[in-house]
């Protein structure tokens, strides 16, 4: 299947039930692929406990995200929401409440706040602007919208006794981002590309840490803080 993902022509094999996830990304354009994903590289033997669908999902995501560094891109393990024409990413390890938080934004702001990816949205630096994209790698039951929006902020979530948010320093932000993105590269050149993207990302985009309860006040706090930070940063 030839798709257009994150403005990159990507060949994704049908194997492992990827077709439904990829449907919204299919393209009729007659071009050669920027990125080619190979089903023969899916490592079924290494993950005997996982379903074929899971192996195909993880394998195709890994190949795509290893290649995207060559195109000024990376992913962030996060729930991505678009509101007022801007994208905000809520990140952290699994189970930290990323999707819960973006759903709270939806309950506060209504239909005009759209979650477009719940697992691995792509980020690419295009003409000096960080764009956040929906991708076929959207999580188990995740929402999947083939759209993009300019990135305004990133927030790492931690469970808390109360709602509090702070701006991270660039090195703190880089450490958190690296822990939630592709790190394992066969070539050190690609690792270096990823690091250069992260360095640029943390110097352009405000990054926060939010300790929170799963309530609407937390969503109000993250929105107001991140919106203000974005305006000050000009993103």
Partner 1 sequence: MKIKENFVLREIAGTNVVLPIGSANVDLNGMIKLNASGVLLWHALEKGAEKNDLIEVILAEYDIDKETAEADVSAFIEKLARIGCLEI
Binding site for partner 1 (CB under 8 A): 169-171, 173-176, 178-179, 183-185, 188, 191-192, 195, 198-199, 202-203
For the bound state, the minimum distance from the C-beta of residue 188 to partner 1, rounded and expressed in Å, comes to 6
For the bound state, the minimum distance from the C-beta of residue 173 to partner 1, rounded and expressed in Å, comes to 7
Please say whether the dihedral angle defined by the alpha carbons of residues 109, 110, 111 and 116, taken in this order, is positive or negative: positive
Is 54 or 191 the residue whose CB approaches partner 1 more closely? 191
For the bound state, the minimum distance from the C-beta of residue 170 to partner 1, rounded and expressed in Å, comes to 4
DSSP string for the chain? -EEEETTEEEE---GGGTHHHHGGGB-------SEE--GGG--TTT-TTS-HHHHHHHHHHHHHHHHGGGGTEEE-SEEEEEETTEEEEEE-STTSSHHHHHHHHHHHHGGGSEEEESS--EEEEETTEEEEE--S---SS--B---EEEEEEEEEEEE-SS-EEEEPPHHHHHHHHHHTS----SSHHHHHHHHHHHHHHHHHS-EEEEEE-SSHHHHHHHHHHHHHHHHHHT-
Is 112 or 203 the residue whose CB approaches partner 1 more closely? 203
Is 84 or 170 the residue whose CB approaches partner 1 more closely? 170
For the bound state, the minimum distance from the C-beta of residue 159 to partner 1, rounded and expressed in Å, comes to 17
Is 64 or 105 the residue whose CB approaches partner 1 more closely? 64
For the bound state, the minimum distance from the C-beta of residue 183 to partner 1, rounded and expressed in Å, comes to 5
Is 53 or 204 the residue whose CB approaches partner 1 more closely? 204
> Residue 220 and residue 87: Cα distance in Å, rounded?
16
For the bound state, the minimum distance from the C-beta of residue 172 to partner 1, rounded and expressed in Å, comes to 8
Is 36 or 62 the residue whose CB approaches partner 1 more closely? 62
């Amino acid at each position: 299947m030839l798709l257009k993902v994150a403005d990159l022509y990507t060949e994704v094999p049908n194997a492992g039930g990827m077709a439904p996830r990829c449907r919204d990304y299919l393209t009729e354009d007659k071009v050669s692929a920027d990125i080619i994903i190979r089903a023969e590289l899916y490592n079924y033997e290494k993950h005997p406990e996982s379903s074929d669908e899971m192996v195909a999902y993880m394998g195709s995501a890994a190949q795509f995200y290893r290649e995207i560094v060559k195109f000024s891109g990376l992913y962030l393990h996060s729930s991505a929401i678009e509101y007022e024409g801007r994208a905000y990413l809520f990140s952290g390890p699994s189970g930290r409440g990323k999707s819960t938080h973006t759903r709270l934004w939806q309950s506060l702001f209504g239909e005009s706040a759209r979650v477009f990816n719940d697992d691995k949205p792509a980020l690419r630096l295009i003409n000096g602007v960080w764009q956040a994209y929906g991708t076929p790698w959207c999580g188990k039951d995740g929402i999947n919208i083939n759209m993009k929006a300019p990135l305004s902020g990133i927030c790492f979530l931690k469970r808390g006794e109360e709602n509090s948010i702070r701006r991270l320093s660039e090195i703190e932000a880089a450490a958190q981002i690296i822990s939630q993105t592709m790190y394992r590269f066969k070539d050190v050149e690609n690792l270096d590309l990823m690091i250069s993207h992260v360095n640029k990302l943390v110097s352009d985009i405000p990054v926060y840490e939010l300790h929170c309860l799963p309530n609407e006040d937390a969503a109000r706090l993250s929105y107001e803080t991140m919106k203000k930070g974005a305006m000050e940063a000009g993103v």
